[in-house]
Amino acid sequence: MNDTALGEFDLIRRYFTAGAHRHTRTSLGIGDDCAILRPQPGFDLAVTVDTLVEGVHFLAGTDAERLGHKALAVNLSDLAAMGAQPAWVTLALTLPHVDEAWLSAFSSGFLALAKRSDVELVGGDTTRGPLSITVQAMGYVEADKALRRSGAKAGDAVYVTGSVGLAGVGLKSLLGYYDGVASEAIKQLEQPEARVQAGRELLGFAHACIDVSDGLSADLGHILDASKVGAALDWEALPLHDEVRQYIARTGDWLPPLVAGDDYELCFTMPPQHEPQLAAALAAVGTGFTRIGMIESEPGLRLLRNGQLQQLPVSGYQHFRK
Amino acid sequence: MNDTALGEFDLIRRYFTAGAHRHTRTSLGIGDDCAILRPQPGFDLAVTVDTLVEGVHFLAGTDAERLGHKALAVNLSDLAAMGAQPAWVTLALTLPHVDEAWLSAFSSGFLALAKRSDVELVGGDTTRGPLSITVQAMGYVEADKALRRSGAKAGDAVYVTGSVGLAGVGLKSLLGYYDGVASEAIKQLEQPEARVQAGRELLGFAHACIDVSDGLSADLGHILDASKVGAALDWEALPLHDEVRQYIARTGDWLPPLVAGDDYELCFTMPPQHEPQLAAALAAVGTGFTRIGMIESEPGLRLLRNGQLQQLPVSGYQHFRK
């Protein structure tokens, strides 16, 4: 469900969770990357929903094929963050008018990723209105094994797959705020790959996991809140793509790796002794990961940078905050 | 999913079903009121998704509490049409701005119906943008028992629960096209009740079922298409509310019972010998039903009215047709 921005989450919690009805077969309700449903004993189903609105989540004029890919990928990423195996998806598409070239490209991007991920589109609703795309994804996860945000423990190390801040540099480039090389950054922004196989491999190793959709500090902050712990990150350890290093060198702005969203990497915590085993498992699925800090019992998020320990605000992109 | 308007359905089928990937555990994909998923042998899950857009599905300024109720009810109605027992729902809400009074009223209408229906809200996404509401509902149905559109057989009778055309008269009243009494009609339009218990009782009796969201002729037309049969309806048999009878008497317009949508009654076909048994079962859940015609092997939809048999166009409200 990825209601990770604080403003959104506050809204949902305030109006839709207080006093809401609980179903006896729900294992985990609102508040994590996915809900976990238990239709039958011994069997769990992970469910997530995300909306992309033109002008909010993507720029007007975004290539339709890439948009189709991304609309599915961001939901697969929520399943990945729970360690679930994607299976089914529904699509609610609101369009201002019927544009056959757009529909053909959008569906082609969406369906190509679905096929590659063994995901079937099983429900749809198309409506006339301002362009927006709502995708709900469902996947399997072994009973009681789903990776929650709430399991981080002091002494765990903090890890992230791939690199951080790349999509954020891509957005700055597309918006005209940055004129350096950003081709990989734009690709990361427009065609993210959900870390589904990596999420599956994390089952049994990771104590807590989230996908980095709103920025590392905000998303790790959700783990810290849910787990009632704190963390210290080491700036030097953050995995940065060359295009991000160049961006920082040229602009002096070092914040994207911490606050920029849309990377769809997995941030997780794990006892560091599992590192060798996990390294072998993730190498087999072609995903790199990096230790970037430690979970501590003291609340809050701290960053060690240039020999200084500083408090980091736990925040990211918030739709309803100004 | 209720992609029952032909324009919408064509779109979905054309771009999103041709060549789309199938998952091995899907029992029924796109094209009925719900998809049927089979996560485990012997266990089926019905899934549906519907979007309501301001100015398309509801008038600007519609009471938020009633809108919250209706956004859930229309999805429960799709589950009812499959004979499924609702269990879980997700909500993607796009709002132009945070209006606390609106959110409070909307959530109150939504959650009250959820509680009454033993449904839990398990996922949410709130986004800034033009007002639209996408709800996905999930429910249980006994393995291989789900009521499909495709099972109607020549010799079945055609039935409908409640009455038809009432919500359509409500809409005409709200739009200022009709100045007669329409209080029950407006209530039917704004606060429809999904026929969930009736749908459960239909399992084992009905051969085919659909909910009447786009108008009786359009929705029955979907059964006829999917079942490769035709039907003849008897105008005199159509169950009409007094406000609809008055509307017809005053305006001369007799079409709403056949073409107006939003009633959310169930239209189903069944061998007529089951009538007494079903009557007892539906009486126990407080739902009336009426025989309105017969399924015939000759394709098409015919209406006997004033001694004349006329062909009815199989069409209803279509978002993308002018």
Mind listing the pLDDT tens digit for each residue in A85-116?
Answer: 999 999 999 988 888 899 999 999 999 999 99
- Residue identified by tokens 């599956």 is A200
Domain residue spans in chain A? 6-142, 157-312
Residue A168 has pLDDT above 90, yes or no: yes
Three-class secondary structure of residue B109 per DSSP:
helix
* ∠ Cα A151 A152 A155 (to 5°): 140
Largest CA distance in chain B: 57
Mind listing the pLDDT tens digit for each residue in B77-123?
Answer: 999 999 999 999 999 999 888 888 999 999 999 999 999 999 999 98
What would the mean pLDDT of A189-195 be, rounded to a whole number? Answer: 95
Q: Return the pLDDT at A322.
A: 31
Q: Which of A21-30, A209-218, B301-310 has the lowest mean pLDDT?
A: A21-30
Name which of A6, A14, A15 to mutate to probe chain B: the one with the most chain B Cβ atoms within 10 A of its Cβ. Answer: A15
Mind listing the pLDDT tens digit for each residue in A281-303?
Answer: 999 999 999 999 999 999 999 99
A34, A123, A128 member nearest B1 (Cβ): A123
**Inter-chain CB proximity B55 and A88 less than 8 Å:** no
**Inter-chain CB proximity B15 and A138 less than 8 Å:** no
Three-class secondary structure of residue B241 per DSSP:
coil
**In this structure, are residues B91 and B133 in contact, taking their beta carbons and an 8 Å threshold?**
yes
Percent of all residues in chain B with a pLDDT value above 90, rounded to a whole number:
74
More confident residue, B18 or B151: B151
Q: Which of A40, A134, A136, A38 is nearest to A86 (CA)?
A: A136
Q: Return the pLDDT at A7.
A: 58
Q: Is residue A125 marked as binding?
A: yes
Please name the residues in contact with A88: beta carbons below 8 A apart, sequence gap of 6 or more. A119, A120, A121, A122, A137, A138, A139, B23, B26, B35, B37, B47
**Inter-chain CB proximity A30 and B130 less than 8 Å:** no
Residues of chain A contacting B30 with CB distance shorter than 8 Å:
121-124
Taking CA–CA distances from B45, the nearest residue in chain A reads: A39
Q: Return the pLDDT at A317.
A: 43
Residue B318 has pLDDT above 80, yes or no: no
Residues of chain A contacting B2 with CB distance shorter than 8 Å:
125
Instruction: Summarize the annotated binding site of B for Mg(2+) as residue ranges.
Output: 33, 48, 50, 78, 125, 211, 214
Residue B34, Cβ neighbours under 10 Å: how many? 31
Q: Return the pLDDT at A9.
A: 46
In Å, how far from its chain's centre is CA A96? Answer: 28
Residues of chain B contacting A15 with CB distance shorter than 8 Å:
103-104, 106-107
What would the mean pLDDT of A214-234 be, rounded to a whole number? Answer: 95
Q: CA A149 to CA A302: how far, in whole Å?
A: 19
Using pLDDT thresholds of 50, 70 and 90, give the confidence band for residue A21.
confident
Q: Is residue A129 marked as binding?
A: no
Q: CA A319 to CA A55: how far, in whole Å?
A: 12
**Inter-chain CB proximity B26 and A120 less than 8 Å:** yes
Taking CA–CA distances from A118, the nearest residue in chain B reads: B23
Exposed, middle or buried by CB within 10 Å (0-12, 13-18, 19+), for B25? middle
How many beta-carbon pairs below 8 A join chains A and B?
Answer: 249
User: What sign does the CA torsion over A13, A18, A24, A27 have?
Assistant: positive
Q: Return the pLDDT at A1.
A: 38
**Inter-chain CB proximity A132 and B128 less than 8 Å:** no
Using pLDDT thresholds of 50, 70 and 90, give the confidence band for residue B125.
confident
Q: Which CATH code of 3.30.70.1450, 3.40.50.300, 3.50.50.60, 3.90.650.10 fits the domain covering B157-311?
A: 3.90.650.10
Residues of chain A contacting B45 with CB distance shorter than 8 Å:
39, 45
Using pLDDT thresholds of 50, 70 and 90, give the confidence band for residue B272.
very high
Residue A47 has pLDDT above 80, yes or no: yes
**Inter-chain CB proximity A124 and B20 less than 8 Å:** no
Q: Return the pLDDT at A18.
A: 72
Using pLDDT thresholds of 50, 70 and 90, give the confidence band for residue A128.
confident
Q: How many residues does chain B have?
A: 322
CATH code that applies to domain A157-312 = 3.90.650.10
Strands (E), chain A: 26-28, 35-40, 43-53, 85-95, 120-128, 132-142, 157-161, 208-212, 230-234, 265-270, 289-296, 300-305, 308-312
Q: Return the pLDDT at A13.
A: 66
Residue B321 has pLDDT above 50, yes or no: no
Three-class secondary structure of residue B20 per DSSP:
coil
Q: Is residue A317 marked as binding?
A: yes
CATH code that applies to domain A6-142 = 3.30.1330.10
Q: Return the pLDDT at A11.
A: 64
What is the nearest CA distance from A52 to chain B, expressed in angstroms? 8
**Average pLDDT score, chain A:** 90
| Encoded amino acid at B185, one letter | A
Mind listing the pLDDT tens digit for each residue in B43-90?
Answer: 899 999 999 988 888 888 899 999 999 999 999 999 999 999 999 999
More confident residue, A13 or A142: A142
**Inter-chain CB proximity A39 and B140 less than 8 Å:** yes
Taking CA–CA distances from B321, the nearest residue in chain A reads: A98
Q: Return the pLDDT at A8.
A: 52
Q: Is residue A50 marked as binding?
A: yes
